A and B are shown apart, each in its own frame.
Chain A
Amino acid sequence: MSVARRTFIQLGAGATVGILFTPTVWKALDDVSIWTQNWPWIPKLKYGATEAKPTVSKMCESGCAVKVRTVAGEAFGTMGNEDNPLSGGGICPLCANGVQVKNSPTRIKAPMLDGQEISWEKAKEVVTEQLEAAGSKVAFISGDQTGTVNEVFSALLADKGSDAFYVMPGDMQAADKAWTGMMGGTGQIGYDLEGADLVLLAGADALESWGPTVANLKSFAANESGKFLFAGPMQTKTASVTSKWIPVPAEGMAAFTLGIAYYVLQAGKTVDTADFGQFKAMVMGDYSPAKVEAATGVKAERMAALAKDLLTASNPVVVPAGPVAAHGAAFALNLLLGGAMKALPEFGKAVSGAMSRSEMLKADVLEGVNTDLLFVYEANPAYALPEKVKAGFTVAFDCIQTETTASANLVLPTLHPYERFDDLASPYGVADATYSMGAPVCKPSVNAACAATFVLGLADLGFETFEEVLGAKAEAMGADMDSLTGGEAFVVEGETPRAASLAANVLGKAAAPVKGTGAVGLVPYTLLNVGTANRATTPNAPCTISNNQLMGDHMVVMMGSTTAKQLGVSVGSKVKLSGGKGECEALVQIFEGVMPGVVAAPLGLGHTVGDEFSKGKGDNVYKILTVNSEAATGASSWAGSTVNVAKI
């Protein structure tokens, strides 16, 4: 035995030494080291042609004209579309992350009925049954402000005998209520920010979150000789780059605007409407500079100086935001000045029986919705309108999970904007009627479908697919669909606005500042990188959210040092804000760009459903907003919200 063992050891030693004189060991080591490049969790690159395909993105409220970068047909990035006037090569922070959202783990992957995955056929059966049972008690809430999908949805409502079509609250709705409702105007109001020589942004955070932000930024950059001024309760990012910030409380914006109108009227400006005399008397009597100063705190001489600037400008424009009265007052002032405010014609309808855009903006969702069957399209009322919406059965169309899809009975995954046909008709604020269209630029990655095509299958609305609807839309306006899907915009120049009335009676009452009973005023503000009412922040955006909005998982509210002293708080204090029917927690930051007596809080945080970038980050300010019914107009508004602040 010992002989065999020794021989074996010698043989083994020889073999071991011998193998070292061959490439085997070294090659094996080399290959194993290379193998470590191939761990299964390392993503694989896709190889193929790289393209930039034009389409439209609907993640922000106004929508962006974009080019989606693809490799071998798969989207990997988004950039602006320089051929489209809505973009000019720019893109908003939400739409810039379109691909990340498309590939998000929170993407809804298949139709879900009460939490159980079902087929699209089954989903159609369920919705058909619910529609039959609901009769005319059916409603739609759309988160899309600019799409022809709304024609399809409103046509379905008309087919069922309902007119309960709602959009999420916003300036577009307030502007329409003021312009077509109060003042008898036609078309959609627009503002030529590039052509104006003086722009007074009366609360409109135009370079950050108001209107077509990207187009606004391009206009601001192109308008080198124009002067921009910002009025509002907080020195927003927009205000930080304008020539001047005029602190004006949000609820006092209409009175402030009429205070300027006082001087303009005094200078002899007129408008050819039947009630001009009544309007003039109302302004001269009720909104004299002294009265406005007493109500808003804005010095009379400041309003006089602004009026002088506006009167000496050759093409001035006042851009309002906020409640209906603020819009009405600004429109009246613009009509007096005869400047760069425009009225945009509406593009022809594709679906007969559909509502016009103005008709779609009439119903007031803040008054509350209570219906048997509710469709929600890419909107998040469960987050932004807490306790305002009630329905026997809710069908939520969306591409990613939200608070609304989490509480809906039936969830139907929509195609991501890059996977579907969609369009973008005149986002509110543009100076010219502008129409853009997008075709799919990549294949669907989940079992999703086009919401409008699904709805077309529920009733005979004259079309089978949404692509056909868009073809009819292009034909109705005389545009070429191929050019549109190729990224070009169809543009019709904005017209000189004409109003039937200056709504003197209504405006006189509605413009009076009304404030809540809380300790301090609440100024909610929107930053697109933080999110909107319908869309939470996107995967790449959190790193751009500053410590003035979010610190760790805590929301940050800003206030001036005098307000902080009044409330007994300082930088970093943890506070509870109580208002409306809810409460929010936040940390305090001192910023002297917030008016005294006011707390500024960012909207868009505090999601309870979503991805790791939004869920549980900060608190939801929509909970503490107070819905007020505006005097005389009857419109609901969040302006004048106040809160009590307690240190915790």
Chain B
Amino acid sequence: MEERKASKRCGGAFPFIIGFLATCVLGWAVIPGLFFVEEEQPIWFSHAVHVDGQGMDCESCHYFRDDGSYAGFPTNEVCAECHAVDPEEAMEAIAEEGIDPNDYDAIMKAEIGAIEDNLASSDEKMMQAEREYVVKYLIQGKEVPWLNYQYQPDNVYFSHAAHMNLSIEELASLKKELSDVVDPSVFEGEAPEQNCNLCHLKDIHLNDEPPAFERNVLSGYSKMTMKMWKCERCHALQGQPNACYTCHK
């Protein structure tokens, strides 16, 4: 009898509601965040320093190759046009100093002339970032493993050339329909000449501190990886084909 009374006191819909509300709160507010871990870019890169400071334009690094393919991230070859450290000369100097070429900290601390004399930056923070790039990647002949916020897996074929003529100004009329696909703030204010903002971080050319890359712990993809339904939505609104082979070659 006692147990039955206790059961009535603690029973009813209350525990169910508590459980329901608790997981609702967790499921909406807490758990989604646990799907992602934040990762920093391999080195500090400031778009603002290059665009504002050096007067470079987007095409200096991000350009269409002669065959129409798109060079997303610049290679060492492109970077070395300005960061003119001779890898051979630098490695020889490192060997002369008796430093292990894989000991990056020691190389950076040694202030080797073949490197230091050719750094383009003046500010200490920038110089350190440039030094890091030169020591860890340029003279080692390794490309920087940039983290791609808009990463797409190999099974998706995305052509920048096919999308280069999309106009933000014209797409503004579809702002409502595209609200789940494109950040609505992209359509605010005067439309920029180029349409990069449609998919990429808005106004990235003004960015000084690269935002953290949010990696999905299950899929490994970026939080900003565009899902298939988003591609399909925009294709449908634009009257473009949505057949599998359009993107999966």
Query: Could you tell me if B32 and A23 are in contact, using CB atoms closer than 8 angstroms?
Result: yes
Interface 1/0 per residue, B35-75 and A, CB below 8 Å: 10000000000000000000000000000010101011001
Query: Could you tell me if B67 and A50 are in contact, using CB atoms closer than 8 angstroms?
Result: yes
Query: Could you tell me if B7 and A6 are in contact, using CB atoms closer than 8 angstroms?
Result: yes
Which of B10, B17, B19, B67 is the most central at the interface, judged by chain A CB atoms within 10 Å of its CB?
Answer: B19
Separation of A44 and B3 alpha carbons in the complex (Å): 62
Separation of A369 and B68 alpha carbons in the complex (Å): 56
Query: Could you tell me if A35 and B10 are in contact, using CB atoms closer than 8 angstroms?
Result: no
Interface 1/0 per residue, A26-39 and B, CB below 8 Å: 01100110110110
Which residue of A is nearest B73, CB measured? A47
Known: A2-B7, A49-B71. A24 touches B31 (CB 8 A): yes
Which residue of A is nearest B28, CB measured? A22
A517 proximal to B (CB < 8 A): no
A37 to chain B, nearest CB (A): 6
Question: Which residues of the partner chain A approach B28 to less than 8 Å between Cβ atoms?
Answer: 22-23
Which residue of A is nearest B148, CB measured? A47
For chain B, give the interface size range. Answer: 35 or more
Query: Could you tell me if A48 and B11 are in contact, using CB atoms closer than 8 angstroms?
Result: no
- Name A's interface SS: helix
B73 to chain A, nearest CB (A): 9
Separation of A461 and B14 alpha carbons in the complex (Å): 95
Query: Could you tell me if A7 and B220 are in contact, using CB atoms closer than 8 angstroms?
Result: no
Interface 1/0 per residue, B136-160 and A, CB below 8 Å: 0000000000000000011100000
Query: Could you tell me if B65 and A18 are in contact, using CB atoms closer than 8 angstroms?
Result: no
Query: Could you tell me if A24 and B155 are in contact, using CB atoms closer than 8 angstroms?
Result: no
Segment 1-37 of B: residues with Cβ below 8 Å from A: 3, 6-7, 10-11, 13-24, 26-28, 31-32, 35
Separation of A17 and B19 alpha carbons in the complex (Å): 8
Find B16's partner among A10, A19, A21, A44 (CB 8 Å cutoff): A10
Question: Which residues of the partner chain A approach B22 to less than 8 Å between Cβ atoms?
Answer: 14-15, 18
Known: A18-B21, A38-B220, A45-B154. A50 touches B27 (CB 8 A): no
Query: Could you tell me if A18 and B24 are in contact, using CB atoms closer than 8 angstroms?
Result: yes
Query: Could you tell me if B19 and A15 are in contact, using CB atoms closer than 8 angstroms?
Result: yes
Which residue of B is nearest A12, CB measured? B19
On chain A, the number of residues with a Cβ less than 8 Å from chain B's Cβ atoms is 36
Question: Which residues of the partner chain B approach A21 to less than 8 Å between Cβ atoms?
Answer: 20, 24, 27
B205 to chain A, nearest CB (A): 22
Query: Could you tell me if A17 and B220 are in contact, using CB atoms closer than 8 angstroms?
Result: no
A11 proximal to B (CB < 8 A): yes
Separation of A528 and B238 alpha carbons in the complex (Å): 51
Query: Could you tell me if A3 and B7 are in contact, using CB atoms closer than 8 angstroms?
Result: yes
Question: Which residues of the partner chain A approach B69 to less than 8 Å between Cβ atoms?
Answer: 49-50
Query: Could you tell me if B7 and A31 are in contact, using CB atoms closer than 8 angstroms?
Result: no
Query: Could you tell me if A31 and B20 are in contact, using CB atoms closer than 8 angstroms?
Result: no
Query: Could you tell me if B220 and A14 are in contact, using CB atoms closer than 8 angstroms?
Result: no
Separation of A166 and B13 alpha carbons in the complex (Å): 95
Query: Could you tell me if A35 and B154 are in contact, using CB atoms closer than 8 angstroms?
Result: no
A476 proximal to B (CB < 8 A): no
Question: Which residues of the partner chain A approach B102 to less than 8 Å between Cβ atoms?
Answer: none
Known: A6-B11, A7-B10, A21-B27. A13 touches B19 (CB 8 A): yes
Query: Could you tell me if A14 and B31 are in contact, using CB atoms closer than 8 angstroms?
Result: no
Separation of A23 and B155 alpha carbons in the complex (Å): 26
Separation of A10 and B13 alpha carbons in the complex (Å): 8
Query: Could you tell me if B154 and A44 are in contact, using CB atoms closer than 8 angstroms?
Result: yes
Query: Could you tell me if B31 and A22 are in contact, using CB atoms closer than 8 angstroms?
Result: yes
B216 proximal to A (CB < 8 A): yes
Which of A17, A19, A42 is the most central at the interface, judged by chain B CB atoms within 10 Å of its CB?
Answer: A19
Find A7's partner among B15, B26, B155 (CB 8 Å cutoff): B15
Query: Could you tell me if B32 and A14 are in contact, using CB atoms closer than 8 angstroms?
Result: no
Which residue of B is nearest A22, CB measured? B27
Separation of A2 and B218 alpha carbons in the complex (Å): 39
Separation of A8 and B218 alpha carbons in the complex (Å): 30
Query: Could you tell me if A22 and B153 are in contact, using CB atoms closer than 8 angstroms?
Result: no
Known: A15-B19, A34-B218. A10 touches B155 (CB 8 A): no
Separation of A12 and B22 alpha carbons in the complex (Å): 10
Query: Could you tell me if A3 and B10 are in contact, using CB atoms closer than 8 angstroms?
Result: yes
Which residue of B is nearest A19, CB measured? B23
B219 proximal to A (CB < 8 A): yes
Find A47's partner among B15, B16, B72 (CB 8 Å cutoff): B72
B187 proximal to A (CB < 8 A): no
Query: Could you tell me if A22 and B11 are in contact, using CB atoms closer than 8 angstroms?
Result: no
B133 proximal to A (CB < 8 A): no
B161 to chain A, nearest CB (A): 13
Question: Which residues of the partner chain A approach B17 to less than 8 Å between Cβ atoms?
Answer: 14
Which of B18, B27, B31, B75 is the most central at the interface, judged by chain A CB atoms within 10 Å of its CB?
Answer: B27
B213 proximal to A (CB < 8 A): no
A502 to chain B, nearest CB (A): 57
Query: Could you tell me if A31 and B218 are in contact, using CB atoms closer than 8 angstroms?
Result: yes
B150 to chain A, nearest CB (A): 13
Query: Could you tell me if A18 and B23 are in contact, using CB atoms closer than 8 angstroms?
Result: yes
Query: Could you tell me if B16 and A35 are in contact, using CB atoms closer than 8 angstroms?
Result: no
Question: Which residues of the partner chain A approach B13 to less than 8 Å between Cβ atoms?
Answer: 10
Separation of A11 and B27 alpha carbons in the complex (Å): 16
A28 to chain B, nearest CB (A): 7
Separation of A38 and B6 alpha carbons in the complex (Å): 52
Question: Which residues of the partner chain A approach B20 to less than 8 Å between Cβ atoms?
Answer: 14-15, 17-18, 21
Query: Could you tell me if B65 and A49 are in contact, using CB atoms closer than 8 angstroms?
Result: yes
Query: Could you tell me if A14 and B16 are in contact, using CB atoms closer than 8 angstroms?
Result: yes
Segment 99-137 of B: residues with Cβ below 8 Å from A: none
Which of A22, A32, A48 is the most central at the interface, judged by chain B CB atoms within 10 Å of its CB?
Answer: A22
B29 to chain A, nearest CB (A): 9
B220 to chain A, nearest CB (A): 6
B31 to chain A, nearest CB (A): 5
Question: Which residues of the partner chain A approach B14 to less than 8 Å between Cβ atoms?
Answer: 10
Separation of A110 and B21 alpha carbons in the complex (Å): 64
Query: Could you tell me if A13 and B16 are in contact, using CB atoms closer than 8 angstroms?
Result: yes
Known: A10-B11, A22-B24. A31 touches B35 (CB 8 A): yes
Separation of A23 and B3 alpha carbons in the complex (Å): 38
Interface 1/0 per residue, A401-437 and B, CB below 8 Å: 0000000000000000000000000000000000000
B144 to chain A, nearest CB (A): 13
Known: A7-B15, A31-B219, A32-B218. A37 touches B10 (CB 8 A): no
Question: Which residues of the partner chain B approach A44 to less than 8 Å between Cβ atoms?
Answer: 154
Find A35's partner among B11, B15, B219 (CB 8 Å cutoff): B219
B224 to chain A, nearest CB (A): 14
Segment 183-216 of B: residues with Cβ below 8 Å from A: 216
Which residue of A is nearest B65, CB measured? A49
Question: Which residues of the partner chain B approach A32 to less than 8 Å between Cβ atoms?
Answer: 218-219
Query: Could you tell me if A35 and B218 are in contact, using CB atoms closer than 8 angstroms?
Result: yes
A214 to chain B, nearest CB (A): 25
Query: Could you tell me if A11 and B19 are in contact, using CB atoms closer than 8 angstroms?
Result: yes
Question: Which residues of the partner chain B approach A7 to less than 8 Å between Cβ atoms?
Answer: 10-11, 15
> A16-B23, A17-B16, A34-B153 are known contacts; what are 5 more A-B pairs with Cβ within 8 Å?
A4-B10, A10-B16, A14-B15, A24-B26, A45-B154
Could you jot down 7 A-B contacts, CB within 8 Å?
Answer: A14-B19, A14-B23, A15-B23, A24-B26, A31-B219, A34-B219, A48-B71
Which residues does B use to contact A, with CB under 8 Å? 3, 6-7, 10-11, 13-24, 26-28, 31-32, 35, 65, 67, 69, 71-72, 75, 153-155, 216, 218-221
Q: Which 7 A-B pairs have the closest CB atoms?
A: A22-B27, A14-B19, A14-B16, A15-B19, A31-B218, A18-B23, A18-B20
